[in-house]
Amino acid sequence: MDRASFFSPQAGRDVSAPPVSSARFSIGDVVRHRMFGFRGVVFDIDPVFANSEEWYESIPEDIRPSREQPFYHLLAENDENSYVAYVSQQNLQADAEAGPVDHPSLDEMFEGFRNGRYRLRRSLSH
């Protein structure tokens, strides 16, 4: 299969990816982590794993996800704080709660919450 490449700032290198990838979620979707329960809003999608090797190796081997799936950048929150998360597609599910997320960076990227998702600011869309 032919593969394309893109530069990943997180990995600091070009990453090889299939020319077509099937992302289950879209920018602005509210999701929940299957194992850890935190919620987040998708703000970017990588077609395959595109973070550092150190990050990948830090995940315990028995729960380490495959690299060959979409990975999502999230504005995430849990009961204690807000942060940015990088999560594999297999570990995410749509958030049944469908309520807004409380993250301080949301207003920089998105315009309001409607019908269970956030709308990307026009100035940031292509």
Query: pLDDT per residue over 62-72, tens digit each?
Result: 999 999 999 99
Question: Are 38 and 64 within 8 A, CB to CB?
Answer: no
Provide the domain limits for residue 44.
4-124
> Taking the model in full, what pTM does it have?
0.82
CATH number of domain containing 9: 2.30.30.390
| pLDDT higher than threshold 80 for residue 7 | no
Q: Which residues of 107-116 are buried (b: 16+ CB within 10 A; e: fewer)?
A: eebbeebeee
- Going by C-alpha positions, the residue among 73, 98, 71, 93 that lies closest to residue 83 is 73
Query: pLDDT per residue over 16-48, tens digit each?
Result: 656 556 899 999 999 999 999 999 999 999 999
Total number of domains constituting the chain = 1
Mean pLDDT of 56-81: 94
